Amino acid sequence: MTKKAVLFQAIGEAVIPLLGFFFWEWSLYFILLFFFIDLIVTEFFLYLKGRKIVQYQNNQEQNTNFRKFGIISLVLMVGVIISSHFGIFFIERGIVFKEEIVAFLVYEELDLPIAQGYIIFPLVILGNYTQYHTFFIKQRKELFYRVEHIYKIRIRALFLAISGAILSIFIAVIFQFEEAIYLILLLAVKFFVDLKFR
C-alpha cells in the first residue's frame, strides 16, 4: 500500500470508533470486538502470504521460519486478545463478556434490519482479501519477500498492542479514568501501529 492509502485507512479506522462511541453509544469493549475480528482475519491472511512465499521459494530456511514465526505471531495475537480482556475487566467493572459478545453480534445499526454479525465478518474478510490480492498476489511479492520480513513487522505490532493492554490494566487499577480516555489511548496506539507496521 502507498503511504497515502495507509494514512487514509488509519484515519478511517480511528474516526468510525470515535463516532460510534460518542454518537451511537458503543462501549469500549464493543469497539475492541471490531478490532479483534480484524486481528484474527489479518492473521489468517498473513498465514496465506507466508505459505505462498514458502511454496514459490521452496527452501528449508523459509519453511522453518514460516513455522517458527507463524507460531510466535499466533501466540502473540491470542495474548493481545487475552490481555485486552483483562484490561476491560478492570475498566468496565461487572462486565459479562458472553452477553456483550451476543449483543455485538445481534446489534442492528440505524435503519438496517440485519444484525451486524452477518455483515461485519464478510466485510472484514473482503477488505483483507482485497489488500492481499492487490498488494501481494498481483505484485508477485511471494517471489522476493521473505517470511521473516512479513512476520517481524506483525510481531512488533503485536508486542506493542500487548504492552498497551498491560498499561491499560495498571492505569485502570490505579486511576479509574473514564472510558473515553481509554478509547483515545487505544486509538492512538492503533493509529501508530497502522502507520508504522502495515
Check whether 21 has a pLDDT greater than 70.
Answer: yes
Cα–Cα distance, 171 to 173 (Å, whole number): 6
Task: Give residue 139's identity as a one-letter amino acid code.
Answer: Q
- Convert the pLDDT of each residue in 106-143 to its tens digit: 887 666 667 777 788 888 899 889 989 998 999 899 88
Number of domains in the chain: 1
Ordered alpha helix ranges (H), 58-146: 60-91, 97-106, 117-132
Position 195 pLDDT exceeds 70: yes
Q: Which long-range contacts (CB under 8 A, 24 or more apart) does 67-73 make?
A: 69/147, 69/148, 69/151, 69/152, 69/155, 70/151, 72/151, 72/155, 73/43, 73/46, 73/151, 73/154, 73/155, 73/158
Q: Can you give the pLDDT at residue 112?
A: 64
Give the long-range contacts of residues 54-57, CB within 8 A, separation 24 or more. Answer: 54/147, 55/142, 56/142, 56/143, 57/142, 57/143
| pLDDT at residue 41, rounded to an integer | 95
Give the confidence band of 198 by pLDDT, cuts at 50, 70, 90: low
- The Cα 60–Cα 92 span in angstroms is 48
Please tell me the predicted confidence (pLDDT) of residue 7.
77
Q: Is the pLDDT of residue 17 over 70?
A: yes
3-state secondary structure of 58: coil
pLDDT at 48 over 90: yes
CB 58, CB 140: distance < 8 Å: no
Q: Is the pLDDT of residue 196 over 90?
A: no
The pLDDT value recorded for residue 40 is 96
Distance CA 3, CA 9 (A): 10
Q: Give residue 11's pLDDT.
A: 83
Query: Over the stretch 72-110, which tens digit does the pLDDT of each residue have?
Result: 999 999 999 999 999 999 998 889 999 999 988 888 766
**pLDDT given at position 191:** 85
Confidence band for 23, pLDDT divided at 50, 70 and 90 = confident
Across residues 136-165, what is the average pLDDT?
Answer: 91
Range of the domain at 20: 3-197
The number of helices, as runs of H, and strands, as runs of E, in the chain is 7, 0
